[in-house]
Amino acid sequence: MREKMLGSRGAAQPADKSKDVKPLSVSQLTRQIDSAIKAGVPGTVRVQGEVSNFNLNRASGHAYFTMKDANACLDCVMFASDMSRVKFRPGDGMELLAAGSVKVYAQRGRYQLYVNSLEPIGQGALELAFKQLHAKLQAEGLFEADRKKPILQYPQHLAIVTSRQAAGFHDMLKVLQRYPFLKLSIYHVPVQGDGCGKHIAAALVHINRSLTDTFQPDVILLGRGGGSLEDLWGFNDEAVARAIAASHVPVVTGIGHEVDTSIADLVADHHAHTPTEAATVVTAYWQTIEEELAGNLAYLLRSAKTQLTNAQQQLISIERHEFFRKPTQRLNELRMQLDDRQRALLIALQQRATQQHRKLQTLADRLERNGPAIQVARTRGKVESLASQLQREMANQLKHRDAKLTSIASVLEAVNPQRVLARGYSMTFLKKTNTLVKDKAQLKPGDRIVTRLSTGEVESTVQDGNQGSLFES
């Protein structure tokens, strides 16, 4: 068994042919994979799937996203040049149809779909883009009626933003040429094709930036004739909508046919269904100006005639007034009234003077009775009386206080310590603290004490502080 095992181990092994294959670089292998994909996959493919991880790079304008179904996912990239042609705004969760080519992205070592067109599933791209922009601007309040500006009833200067070749322009001119006194400023812009929205928006911005005392349009007419949704798409441009909303001059739109409604129509200050209707709206009051002027003239004539008649009647009434028939009579009456008032004034003045004289005499009599000399004499008598009373009161107080002081002195003399000492008593103090000794507990042997007598002091030393009480039996 051992030999068999050794024999099997020593048997020749088949040669590894992979070692004879020349190695490839990563770039070479990636190019081979790319070539194989190009050979096996059509140059243009259309892929349907759900969008996720959609990311639009603001710096480059390129879009990066993933398309997926239930079992697989595919990385996709759409360059800015292709992305600019997409009318709607792609987003996560949308079911889209993408067309493009499959290539290998060598820097990441993965394949991806290079998309050149996107279409929504179930509805057109333009329809979806319209709904998206409509929802956005409506949320911002750009369609609200309270932000729309009123249209001047009698505009004299119109700014028309349209193409000179557009049928709608000629429709507007047919209406406006009936009023040769109107001033027209034509802004020629493309109204169809890619990029026309930017030109329309630029014209609206230019009008508002150019407003001066000499250039002041009363209204802007924005319009063109009918067409498909693609033909009218420039009026669904967001830049156009915002330029209309920001305009200081009222904007009237007449775009397409009656069934057409663009974003510009919804934002405009007035939406006419056709170019002809737009021109008719801004000139509506001019159409009836002759009738209105005639009616106003008739009204003014009637009013003037009525006022003239009333003035004539008033003049006749004034002429018949008694004042004009006997003008001097009224003057005489006024003179008599003036004389009466003058006499009444003199009488009133005399009475007033008499009253004042009486008051003055009364004050003089009162002053004489209560003059300063009399008041001084009265006051001097009071002062002298008060002085006598004060002297008597002071003498009584002095006697009372002298007696009280004598009594207090007797009391003090009785409690004078010197008198107590004279009766044979003494006071003892601790010399060190000059404290009066009241209890033998204050003393200890060796303390120096001072005994004060009536005739002097005696200093001594304590030898025994535990002597008996002075009054012990």
* 3-state SS, one letter per residue, for 204-216: HHHHHHCCCCCCC
Cβ–Cβ < 8 Å for 175, 155 = no
Predicted local confidence at residue 8, as pLDDT: 47
pLDDT tens over the chain, length 473 residues? 345 444 545 455 555 565 667 888 888 888 888 888 877 788 889 998 888 889 999 898 999 999 888 888 899 999 998 888 888 888 887 888 899 999 888 888 888 999 998 888 765 667 777 888 888 899 999 999 999 999 999 999 999 999 999 888 999 999 999 999 999 999 999 998 888 999 999 999 999 999 998 999 999 999 998 887 778 888 988 999 999 999 999 999 999 887 778 989 999 999 999 999 999 999 998 988 878 888 888 899 889 989 998 998 888 887 777 666 677 777 788 888 888 899 999 999 999 899 998 898 888 888 777 777 777 777 888 888 888 888 888 888 888 888 888 888 887 877 777 777 777 788 888 988 888 888 888 888 888 998 988 788 889 998 876 665 555 54
**CA pair distance 237, 255, nearest whole angstrom:** 14
Q: For the chain, give me the number of helices (H) and strands (E)?
A: 15, 14
**1-28 burial string, b = 16+ CB within 10 Å, else e?**
eeeeeeeeeeeeeeeeeeeeeeeeeeee
- DSSP summary character for residue 22: P
For residue 122, the model assigns a pLDDT of: 61
| C-alpha torsion angle, residues 355, 356, 359, 365 (rounded to 10) | -120
Amino acid at 186: I
User: Within a 10 A sphere around the Cβ of 172, how many other Cβ atoms?
Assistant: 26
Which CATH number describes the domain made up of 27-122?
Answer: 2.40.50.140
Cβ atoms within 10 A of the Cβ of 102, count? 19
Amino acid identity, position 418: Q
Give yes or no for a contact between 351 and 358, defined as CB atoms under 8 angstroms apart.
no
pLDDT of res. 170: 92
- CATH number of 145-287, picked from 3.40.50.300, 3.40.50.2300, 3.30.428.10, 3.20.20.30: 3.40.50.2300
Q: Which residues of 358-393 are buried (b: 16+ CB within 10 A; e: fewer)?
A: eeeeeeeeeeeeeeeeeeeeeeeeeeeeeeeeeeee
Residues in the chain: 473
In whole angstroms, give the CA distance from residue 465 to residue 445: 6
At 441 the pLDDT is 83
**109 — alpha (psi -120 to 50), left (phi > 0) or beta?**
left
- 182, 156 contact by CB (below 8 A): yes
d(CA 211, CA 197): 22
Query: Angle at CA 418, nearest 5°, toward 417 and 421?
Result: 90
- Residue 2 has what pLDDT? 46
pLDDT at 159: 95
d(CA 251, CA 148): 9
Kindly report each contact of residues 117-123 with a partner whose C-beta sits within 8 Å and lies 24 or more positions away, as own/partner.
Answer: 117/82, 117/85, 117/86, 118/78, 118/86, 118/90, 120/88, 120/94, 120/95, 120/96, 121/48, 121/95, 121/96, 121/97, 122/95
Model pLDDT, residue 1 = 37
**Sheet-wide strand order for 219-224:** 183-188, 157-162, 219-224, 251-255, 270-272
On whether the CB atoms of residues 285 and 294 are closer than 8 A, the answer is no
Domain ranges of the chain: 27-122, 145-287, 373-415, 420-461
Predicted local confidence at residue 18, as pLDDT: 59
Q: How far apart are CA 182 and CA 174, in angstroms?
A: 13
